[in-house]
Structure 1
Amino acid sequence: MNIVVFCPSLIGDTVMATPVFRALRRGYPQAKLTAVLRPNVAPVLDGAEWFDETVFFHPHGKLREHRATAVVKRLRSERRDMAVLLPNSFRSAWVAWLSGVKRRVGYDRYARGLLLTDRLPPPRDAAGKLLPCPIVEYYLALLRLIGCPSDGVRLELATTAADEAAADEACRALGVSAEQGIVCLNNGGAFGPAKSWPNASYGILARRLAEELGVSVVVLCGPSEREASRKIAELAGHPRVVSLADQPLSLGLSKAFVRRASLLVTTDSGPRHFAAALGTPVVSLFGPTRIEWTRTNHPHAVHIYHPVPCGPCQRPVCPLGHHDCMTRLAPDRVFEAARRMLAGRRGIVPSLQPGARENSWRPG
């Protein structure tokens, strides 16, 4: 059997799809599994062994071989029995249909139902409005549609030897010692600036972590976040607070640092999901986005938020211009959560309210 999996276009969503990848590999052990995904997201899955082939697809990519016409040609070069479409986009269904895939499985959204052979309606209320559903479970429902069993919602990632070597080299270059523990900080994300916590707040947190708890603090970043990462380390003004901004960056490097960290403090972005998949305790800072959509079922996760009348708005840029949901989230509250997590207290306590553990979080 030859199965194609159209993967999500975002890093965090791809991590949340890993229970699907694992289930397909176990459910069809003799099948050839092909991942169709964006080239910038592909390194997230490096080190895993679910897929036999990877096809890069970016509809607006610089390289022609990554665009729809080339992808269709490549998929048509072999008989493909089934396509599992995790993205909701019309384009993914259209490409699968053009590629001659016999069975096409996905959600009936965005007028693409006629392109699918196996359609699943998304969960809606009586008025027809979409109901919040954890993306992990949303994806797994497609497997139930085709009768493929899963072994649960556990996220899973791996690092490669090259990833770990890059992290070792960065630690040497930056003078980072793991003896007293490493705390990684992550800000921003592809969603938009509304998710970000102020650099000044991160700087205060970083200094307190290094000064009061004696840990090494590493500020992660992607290529577009180098300046913010440098600024956080600069504002912290402590020798044990360093930034990866001037290191050779990669998703593998970020994964390796998250894997070896004692704690990650992050906004609702891709590295938050790395922590869940790699078993690293995490304190997540929520503002405009709703936890109901991105629940990871991580037993060592704490979420903190500042309730505002206008939120969570699910907007990439604050429509009111004040960004209160994040700017009014006090560094002292985040530090206290981090301190307790580092001390081994797995879960939130009353003094951290409003907020709660991941499995009982409610918007304020």
Structure 2
Amino acid sequence: MKILIIQQKMIGDVLTSSILFKAIKDEYPNAELHYLINTHTFSVVENNPFIDKFIFFTKKAESNKKEFYRLIKSVKKEKFDVVIDVYSKLSSNIITLFSGAKTKISYYKYYTTSIYNHNIKRKLTTATKAGLAIEHRLQLLKPLGINKTSEIPKIFISKKEIENSQSFLEESGINFDQSLYMISVLGSSLNKTYPFKYIAKVIDTVVEETNGQILFNYIPNQLTEAKTIYNLCKPKSQKHILFDVFGESLRDFLAITYHCDALIGNEGGAINMAKALNINTFAIFSPWIDTTTWGTFENHHHINVHLKHYKPELYSDKIEKDMKKESLKLYEAFKPEFFIEKLKTFLN
């Protein structure tokens, strides 16, 4: 059996959907499994032993009709028996339609039911601690006779990457006899970024409670914003922040995070990656992001905090997505004082 799984766009989605490969291999160990993803997301699934081949949806294929047509032809040439379209948007609908696969599976949408043999309706409530992001994906395997409800995403870091990152951290002044924390200081967008003055208070608390070493997770084009947050921290905290110590690539970031005691800060891809590395996480959710879907595997190792937990009256007769336009105003109401004691307990 030859199966194609399609998951384009975001790194967190690509990582989360990678659970399907292990679940399938557990049931069908001889199945040949291909993963169609955007090129920039490869790092989170590199070295995954359950994926046999990658197909890349390049920027050219995204913007050029001829390149997109070539991609469709290359998919059809593979002669897949099954296509599982997790992405379920126009581009993946077209790829699936012309794939030639006899079995086509995706989520139910009234306007795409003619494309797929199996149109899976998403559940409204979660049945496990895995969260809906995990459970929804595993639902797509039911047509293959696979009835799992939980599977943990995993990132595979090589021994060489671990050794190289340890050497890099030691050369950068990191003392492995002290605790080390990665702070996700910035979200993927402004409406997913905890206010700078508030995240600075979170960092101050981490230093006060642990006397630990602090790394910032940011990329070069976020330097100005990251520096602003650094400057808002107390002078004592600044002495614990190794501001210029960060990974040059996503794989470098993953290898560095592997050595941390926890990743703390804005919920998003970095939190999901830390969980997949079996690193403790404390996630501060944007007011419009649903914890039921993305608050995966919550326990004392993985804590989620959300404005809705403290100000439920703000969400009366509304769901989180309805609050997207008001996210910046709601963030201002989401003061660190609400969850500081919970953070201290987590750190201890």
Would the alpha carbon gap of residues 222 and 28 (structure 1) be closer, same or farther in structure 2, given more than 3 Å must change?
farther
1:288 aligns with 2:288: yes
- Deviations 1:233-286 (CA, angstroms, capped at 9, x unpaired): 333242221235x74532222322333221211222011112322222211112
Per the alignment, residue 319 of structure 1 pairs with 325
Per the alignment, residue 146 of structure 1 pairs with 144
C-alpha separation in 2, matches of 1:301 and 1:147: 31
Per the alignment, residue 217 of structure 1 pairs with 214
The alignment partner of 2:146 has SS state of coil
C-alpha separation in 2, matches of 1:140 and 1:66: 34
Give the RMSD, CA atoms, in angstroms: 2.9
Per the alignment, residue 12 of structure 2 pairs with 12
Would the alpha carbon gap of residues 71 and 29 (structure 1) be closer, same or farther in structure 2, given more than 3 Å must change?
same
Shift of 1:103: 1.7
Letter in 1 for 2:297: N
Give runs of aligned pairs for residues 52-71 of structure 1, distance below 5 A: 52-58=52-58, 67-71=67-71
Would the alpha carbon gap of residues 280 and 165 (structure 1) be closer, same or farther in structure 2, given more than 3 Å must change?
same
Letter in 2 for 1:295: G
1:339 aligns with 2:344: yes
Q: TM-score, normalised by structure 2?
A: 0.84
C-alpha separation in 1, matches of 2:23 and 2:66: 27
The alignment partner of 1:314 has SS state of helix
User: Does 269-278 or 56-65 show the bigger shift?
Assistant: 56-65
* Alpha-carbon contact 2:109-2:119 (below 8 Å) kept: no
* Alpha-carbon contact 2:247-2:253 (below 8 Å) kept: no
Per the alignment, residue 350 of structure 1 pairs with none
Per the alignment, residue 165 of structure 2 pairs with 167
**Structure 1 segments unaligned to the other structure (5+ residues):** 126-132, 344-364
Per the alignment, residue 99 of structure 2 pairs with 99
Per the alignment, residue 303 of structure 2 pairs with 302
1:3 aligns with 2:14: no
Per the alignment, residue 128 of structure 2 pairs with none
User: Does 34-43 or 96-105 show the bigger shift?
Assistant: 96-105
* Alpha-carbon contact 1:23-1:151 (below 8 Å) kept: no
Give runs of aligned pairs for residues 101-250 of structure 1, distance below 5 A: 101-109=101-109, 111-123=111-123, 134-150=132-148, 152-161=150-159, 163-165=161-163, 167-168=165-166, 170-172=168-170, 174-190=172-188, 192-236=189-233, 237=235, 238-243=238-243, 247-250=246-249
C-alpha separation in 2, matches of 1:335 and 1:233: 19
Give runs of aligned pairs for residues 33-52 of structure 1, distance below 5 A: 33-52=33-52
* Alpha-carbon contact 1:58-1:66 (below 8 Å) kept: no
- Deviations 1:177-205 (CA, angstroms, capped at 9, x unpaired): 23221111103333x31121122222232
Q: Percent of aligned positions with the same letter in both sequences?
A: 16
Would the alpha carbon gap of residues 62 and 4 (structure 1) be closer, same or farther in structure 2, given more than 3 Å must change?
closer
Q: Aligned residues, how many?
A: 332
Shift of 1:67: 4.6
Would the alpha carbon gap of residues 249 and 199 (structure 1) be closer, same or farther in structure 2, given more than 3 Å must change?
farther
* Alpha-carbon contact 2:12-2:272 (below 8 Å) kept: yes
- Deviations 1:209-249 (CA, angstroms, capped at 9, x unpaired): 224421001111245433322332333242221235x7453
- Deviations 1:270-324 (CA, angstroms, capped at 9, x unpaired): 1111232222221111222111121311432222233262576426x9524x724
C-alpha separation in 1, matches of 2:66 and 2:30: 27
Higher share in helix: 2
C-alpha separation in 1, matches of 2:220 and 2:319: 28
1:32 aligns with 2:32: yes
Letter in 2 for 1:319: K
**Structure 2 segments unaligned to the other structure (5+ residues):** 126-130
* Alpha-carbon contact 1:16-1:296 (below 8 Å) kept: no
User: Does 164-173 or 193-202 show the bigger shift?
Assistant: 164-173
* Alpha-carbon contact 1:56-1:66 (below 8 Å) kept: no
The alignment partner of 1:51 has SS state of coil
Would the alpha carbon gap of residues 210 and 248 (structure 1) be closer, same or farther in structure 2, given more than 3 Å must change?
same
C-alpha separation in 1, matches of 2:164 and 2:218: 15
The alignment partner of 2:5 has SS state of strand
- Deviations 1:29-84 (CA, angstroms, capped at 9, x unpaired): 11211100011111111232111111111466578699522221221222211111
Shift of 1:156: 1.9
The alignment partner of 2:242 has SS state of strand
